Amino acid sequence: MRIEIVAVGTELLLGQIADTNSAWMGEQLAAAGVASHFHQAVGDNQSRIVLALRTALSRSDGVIVCGGLGPTQDDITRESIAEVMHVELVRDERIIERIRTMFSSRRRAMPDNNLRQADVPVGAAIIEQTRGTAPGLVCPLGNKVIYAVPGVPHEMQDMFERAILPDLRRRMAEAGEEAVIKSRVIRTWGASESGLAEALADRVDELDAWSSPDGSTLTIAFLASGIEGIKVRLTARAVTDAAAAALLDEEEGRIRGILAERLGDIVFGVDDQAMEHAIAALLIARKLTLGLAESLTGGLIGARLVNVPGSSAWFRGCIVAYDSAVKHALLGVSPGPVVSAEAAEEMATGAQRSLGSDVGLGITGVAGPEGQDGQSPGTVFVGLALPGSPPAAHQLHLPGDRDRVRQFSSISALDLLRRSLLARS
């Protein structure tokens, strides 16, 4: 069964608010095994809403319209649905009474505008409102259906879970289309989106051509996520939750193997596992503690690490040595340029010594917009001191403005630590 979401509201087109409702519904539909191939946004104009609904119905089995059910003159979703259904609107006195009672309970008089919210297309059923004034609608059109819900997120979510999802499941069961859709995200750092796509091109083609006797499907997609790297999303559709999970388990192992062979240790986590979670797991497994010395990142790395529950067991602390004099006095950095490989190494050993940690990580560089110590903006040095090994420094050249250089520096330094710890396995 294919469901399309149509979000109504000129404010969405103007960028005044983000359409989080469609994103939430899309996630819920996928979890329920319902295909959602298209999302639309349309302004508060009846002819354009009608066009959007007719377009959606031409390519989907049902439509969820979100927004435009309020009491004001520009709330015209009801009128638009009635036009698509070729029926009239009828005022439902039960809805009026409910809205009037709600206003009375708050010691307020119901404005006449709210009467519009009791208008229902002939043949439609009502989704009772439990949190606001606008009821939802279930509008059958032959073997297809239009659902209408308010744009207020908590009202929409209540109606979706209480009425729309059960109705969709009933329709799918009657059509023999029950299925489960599950996704898993493999998180990577250090490769481009095009590089990942090239490395996995053969596997993508294989899955495109794959046909399962029970109708199961498996797809791969690439999601560029800025400072959090490139994500590889696996989506499985199967008859049962267990079958979908099994498909994902097998495919995750296969994808990890392909990437390791072709691109190295670029995979650092799955789903919500950020880079700091990978660092935590490695330090705990090796019974090591970490100390930081940060300059251009100004504490960003430490802030990421303390987001991990229980980080006090392995994270000793962070010295934010932004001024050169602090680097010299607290970390033992030698006089001279502080944006250099030597300074990064000394910052790492200084953190290791001052904080009593097994591992020391130091970072210095130029965030911009001006250069420093003869180095251009985006030049970063990461120092690493591991137990039993001499300190080492790595130079990076990172793109972007001041904020992006600092953010990229933070995750790049952690990734360098991650790879170094893996190499000591």
**2 dihedral zone (left: phi>0; alpha: psi -120 to 50; beta):** beta
> What is the structure's pLDDT at 182?
87
Give the relative orientation of helices 77-85 and 46-59 as an angle to the nearest 10 degrees.
50
**Residue from 195, 191, 202 nearest 266 by CA:** 191
Supply the pLDDT for residue 1. 87
Distance CA 322, CA 345 (A): 16
The per-residue pLDDT of the chain, averaged, comes to 95
Report pLDDT for 22: 97
The greatest distance separating any two alpha carbons of the chain, rounded to the nearest whole angstrom, comes to 83
CATH topology of domain 180-270: Alpha-Beta Plaits (3.30.70)
pLDDT of amino acid 31: 79
Count the alpha carbons within 13 Å of 100 in the hemisphere toward its beta carbon. 9
- CATH 3.40.980.10 for domain 3-174, yes or no, is yes
What was the pLDDT predicted at 277? 98
Q: In whole angstroms, give the CA distance from residue 339 to residue 223.
A: 34
Q: How far apart are the first and last CA of the chain?
A: 48
Distance between CA atoms of residues 2 and 224, nearest Å: 27
Mind spelling out the 3-state secondary structure of 381-401? EEEEECCCCCCEEEEEECCCC
d(CA 6, CA 27): 15
Per-residue pLDDT tens digits of the chain, which is 425 residues long: 899 999 999 999 999 999 999 999 998 998 788 889 999 999 999 999 999 999 999 999 999 999 999 999 999 999 999 999 999 999 999 999 999 998 998 889 999 999 999 999 999 999 999 988 999 999 999 999 999 999 999 999 999 999 999 999 899 888 877 778 889 999 999 999 999 999 999 999 999 899 888 889 999 999 888 889 999 999 998 988 899 999 999 999 999 999 999 999 999 999 999 999 999 999 999 999 999 999 999 999 999 999 999 999 999 999 999 999 999 999 999 999 999 999 999 999 999 999 999 999 999 999 999 999 999 999 999 999 999 999 999 999 999 999 999 999 999 999 999 999 999 86
Task: Give the pLDDT confidence score for residue 255 in this predicted structure.
Answer: 98
Cα–Cα distance list, 218 to 210, 287, 305, 365 (Å):
8, 39, 34, 44
Any idea where the domains of the chain sit in the sequence?
A: 3-174, 180-270, 276-423
Considering only the top CATH level, what class is 276-423? Answer: alpha beta
